Amino acid sequence: MAMKNNGFKQCNSDHTMFLKHRKGKVTTLIIYVDDMIITGNDKQEISQLQDYLATEFEMKDLGGLKYFLGIEVARLQQGIFLSQRKYVLDLLTDTGMLDYKPADTPIVQNHHLGEYPDQVPTNKERYQRLVGRLIYLSHTLPDIAYAVSVVSQFMHSPSEDHMNAVLRILRYLKSAHGNGLMFSKHGHLNIDGYSDADWAGNVTDRKSTSGYFTFVGGNLVTWRSKKQNVVALSSAEAEFRGMTKGICELLWLRKLLTELGYKPTSTMNLFCDSKAAIAIAQNPV
């Protein structure tokens, strides 16, 4: 209510974001519980907003953004770099994995993780806690998204094999703890997406796994890997379902940018490696 009283409107694409457009400029406030970011290109409005909020709530100005919700923000010559290096090191320390040999990949190729009658159970609470922390880490580490998606499927009844897969992700993080996301200027705001899917890859229920990742202005901004809800009857169906999720994400990004005042002028592109799925998309009737 305080934001609306000050002329801000709640963003329809993200309800944690409030926007105010004035004289061709925009001021943005992002809030999560009691943490917030104020940004935009209207310095006068930003200053007025800070003064207003200080009269309404007890607040502390921490200066330029350097750390937010466990994510480190570094301004470099090449652009803005986001990482969770400290979070990774804390996780490796808590699990005693700092001295283990690093893994080259987050998960073994052609793994056969599933649910089997003779599987040996493991500590369920520890497993769930570790996977939860890995899910949060995947916000800045897209390279572990698929592996985390796989191990998160066994939260209700994890086995020793599942725990070993989690520990492999941790060993991979030892060599990748400095990785993150770089946002650089490329002179455009083109929205592009890529989607892919396997077919009947889950050994337990034969459901497929699809994934996508999207770029805005040449920078990777969102990604996801998830098991599909139904059993696909063909590889084309699995790929087409993956394309559906990808195009929904592109439409959401376009709507978000439009609300921010940066409506894309170019056509969105979604890339897929399945000729059959592309043919269905071009002629869905």
Residue 6 has pLDDT above 90, yes or no: no
pTM value is 0.90
Is 186-282 in CATH node 1.25.10?
Answer: no
Query: Band of the pLDDT at 272, cuts 50, 70, 90?
Result: very high
pLDDT tens-digit readout, 55-112:
888 888 888 999 999 899 999 999 999 999 999 999 999 999 998 999 999 999 988 8
* 214: exposed, middle or buried (Cβ count in 10 Å: 0-12, 13-18, 19+): buried
Q: Between these two residues, 175 and 275, which has the higher pLDDT value?
A: 275
Query: What is the three-state SS of the chain?
Result: CHHHHCCCEECCCCCCEEEEEECCEEEEEEEECCEEEEEECCHHHHHHHHHHHHHHCCCCCCCCCCEECCEEEEECCCCEEEECHHHHHHHHHHHCCCCCCCCCCCCCCCCCCCCCCCCCECCHHHHHHHHHHHHHHCCCCHHHHHHHHHHHHHCCCCEHHHHHHHHHHHHHHHHHCCCEEEECCCCCCCEEEEEEECCCCCCCCCCCEEEEEEEECCEEEEEEEEECCCCCCCHHHHHHHHHHHHHHHHHHHHHHHHHHCCCCCCCCEEECCCHHHHHHHHCCC
Q: Please state the domain extents for the chain.
A: 2-64, 82-180, 186-282
pLDDT tens-digit readout, 228-271:
999 999 999 999 999 999 999 999 999 999 999 998 889 999 99
pLDDT tens-digit readout, 141-193:
999 999 999 999 999 999 999 999 999 999 999 988 889 999 999 989 999 99
pLDDT number for residue 1: 65
